[in-house]
Amino acid sequence: MANTAQARKRARQASAQRDHNMSQRSELRTAIKKVRKAIEAGDKAAAQAVFQSSMSTIDSIADKKIVHKNKAARHKSRLSQAVKAMA
């Protein structure tokens, strides 16, 4: 456990930041799941609409360095490929 006031404050800040980052990461996963669900439903127009809204979420989370930019790019690429492959 932290012994100094400074260390206690840093522990509080780290905990709050971790909670925020976990929330953002959860939002990222939810956005990806929404696109996958729309793709499985088979409606290409709806899938494209959900895909567009999810891209801004994925980009903003990558910009905040909560996930690596290459990971975000990989998810976007694979989702885009899946949407384009729909009949």
Pick from 79, 18, 52: nearest CA to 10 = 18
* DSSP conformation class of 87: -
Determine contact, residues 63/24, Cβ cutoff 8 Å: no
Residue 53, domain CATH: 1.20.58.110
Q: What is the pTM of this model?
A: 0.86
Residue 52 has, within 13 A of its CA and on its CB side, a CA count of 5
| Other CB atoms within 10 Å distance of the CB of residue 36 | 16
In this prediction, residue 20 carries a pLDDT of 97
What pLDDT score was predicted for residue 17?
Answer: 97
Taking the alpha carbons of 32, 36, 38, 43 in that order, is the dihedral positive or negative? positive
User: How many domains in the chain?
Assistant: 1
Q: In the predicted model, is pLDDT for residue 87 greater than 90?
A: no
pLDDT tens digits, 49-63: 999 999 999 999 999
Range of the domain at 37: 5-84
